[in-house]
Copies of this chain bind each other. A is one copy, B any other.
């Protein structure tokens, strides 16, 4: 299990500020799922909020609407194949946790699981906005707990040391970009 340290809530937006692709995990009524989402962003600082697009066809959509909760997990480069697999297969057809080989741990404040091996985790409660959920598949969430692997994020700053443990950004067709070098403008 990757180590996890709590990220103070006013710093949680930093986990998404650079635009990584995330995994959206969800659970309800004994079912659970995980999908990939490049279309996510921070929405506010404190209390922290996020926005994410969750298509109507997905099992994730059903579980998020039923539970009012989700977790945004920030995967590492070494999890890119898994990220692609859970992004291209449906939880209606397979149990991605067993079939893709995705480890899950209990979250602290929501029923959705934390995906093991990730770089960071944002536990979220849906802010109900039925019109935009229905019209645009757009979900807003308040971050109620946040965690990070201290090897990758500490003191409010990403500090990628290991190439396999950098965050990733989906392009298309199975191709990602790794988060590149940091520089001061």
Contact = CB atoms under 8 A, between A and B. Distances in A.
A30 interface: no
A178 to B, nearest CB: 4
Q: Place the interface of chain A in its size category.
A: 35 or more
How many copies of this chain does the complex contain? 2
Contact of A180 (B81, B172, B178): B178
Given A41-B41, A136-B140, A140-B136, A176 B183 contact: yes
The majority secondary structure among interface residues of chain A is: strand
A67 B39 CA distance: 26
Nearest to A44: B136
A158 interface: yes
B171 A81 contact: no
Interface of A: 14, 17-21, 38-44, 49, 51, 53, 77, 80-81, 83-84, 129, 131-132, 136-138, 140, 156-158, 166, 169-172, 174-185
A-B pairs, top 8 by smallest CB distance, nearest first, are A19-B19, A180-B180, A18-B169, A178-B180, A80-B185, A84-B185, A41-B41, A81-B185
